[in-house]
Amino acid sequence: MPRVKYILLDCDNTLCLSERLAFEACTDLTNEVLEKWGRPERYTVEQLLEDFVGHNFRGMLNGLQKKHGFTMSPEEVDAYVDRELGAVTAKLSEKCQPCPGAPEQLEALKQAGYPMSVVSTSAKPRVVASLKKVGIDHYFPDEHVYSAATSLNPPSSKPDPAIYNYACKQLGVKNEECVTVEDSKSGATAAMRAGIPLIGYVGVYGIEEGKEKMEEMAKLLTEQCNAKVIMYDWKEFPECLKKIEESL
């Protein structure tokens, strides 16, 4: 049976319970932008998550401009991205927790000799802050933490597959020789467009939103994003990986 050559892992709400914390930190900035550009709409954390989960803040600002009909200069976008990164990194450094079972599976993968890398849409300082707070940063050398917002020039955001293509090139592996784990539609779409076999992780939805949302995402990731297998709990990872390797 062929063996996967690299395991690529999303960070936010896949390895670390960081998504809601990050959106809590950036909601005020989002509403400040809308007020400054004369728009009456205001977002709650829940509404922002619904519309922009899986996007980094630069991608979110681009989406806000399109949705609400205003234009920011590149310099203004950069300034807000910098402010958001500081606020989010501080919150994650203080409060981030692991997705249940993820640290144990990372240790098992290390013992089994699987090389691993983080491939995130979020800015690298934010990703590193989450990994350090959770205590799993030692599994990922700095050069193996890839960020669509930081590693690419120009910056990008999933569902653009650019960060996956970049990571595989840097790691010296073919896309199809890897496997990745993603929880969001945007991340899963990026993996699909990059041609990387996908494990769809939906356990976080059960933790934060309930069983109905979890099953809804399982269906979406399977039908729209070509997930090869759905993982409800990290303890299922060995069996999910086996199914991927059997299909190679």
H or E segment at 194? helix 185-194
For residue 145, being part of any structural domain is answered with: yes
Mean pLDDT, to the nearest integer, of 116-125? Answer: 96
Residues 63 and 111 in one domain: no
Up-side HSE of residue 11: CA atoms within 13 Å toward CB? 34
Does 82 share its domain with 203? Answer: no
User: Is the omega angle on the peptide bond into residue 2 within 30 degrees of 0, that is, cis?
Assistant: no
Provide the pLDDT for residue 187. Answer: 96
d(CA 79, CA 100): 35
**Per-residue pLDDT at 175 exceeds 90:** yes
229 shares a domain with 218? yes
Q: Mean pLDDT throughout 74-90?
A: 95
Token readout for 94 is 């203080």
Q: Residue 106: which domain range?
A: 6-17+97-247
Domain closes at, from 69, 95, 121: 95
| Whether residues 13 and 127 fall in one domain | yes
158 has a pLDDT exceeding 70: yes
pLDDT score recorded for residue 231: 98
Cα 235 to its chain centre, rounded Å, is 20
How far is Cα of residue 128 from the mean position of the Cα atoms in its chain? Answer: 13
Residue 139 forms part of a structural domain: yes
Q: How confident is the model at residue 245, as a pLDDT?
A: 96
What is the reported pLDDT for 1? 61
**Whether residue 88 is found in the same domain as residue 108:** no
| 233 within domain boundaries | yes
Cβ neighbours of residue 185 closer than 8 Å, sequence gap 6 or more: 53, 54, 159, 220, 221, 224, 225
* Structure token pair of residue 239: 């069996």
211 belongs to a structural domain: yes
One domain, residues 28 and 140:
no
pLDDT of residue 208: 85
Percent of the chain with pLDDT over 90: 92
Domain boundary at 34, 66, 95, which? 95
Which of 47, 2, 1, 4 has its CA nearest to residue 26?
Answer: 47
> Quick one: 48 and 166 in the same domain?
no
Is residue 48, in this structure, part of any structural domain at all?
Answer: yes
For range 1-20, the mean pLDDT: 93
In a domain, 1, yes or no: no
User: Which one of 95, 121, 141 terminates a domain?
Assistant: 95
Residue 136 to residue 224: CA distance in whole angstroms? 31
Confidence of residue 125 (pLDDT cuts 50, 70, 90): very high
The answer to whether 166 and 143 are in contact (CB under 8 A) is: no
If asked whether residues 12 and 41 sit together in one domain, one would say no
Domains identified in the chain, total number: 2
Q: What is the pLDDT of residues 24-38, one digit of tens each?
A: 999 999 999 999 999
What's the pLDDT score for residue 92? 96
CA distances from 5 to 52, 171, 175, 197, 248 (A): 32, 10, 10, 12, 11
What's the mean pLDDT in 126-150?
97
Same domain, 28 and 113: no
* Peptide bond between residue 154 and the one before it cis (omega within 30 degrees of 0): yes
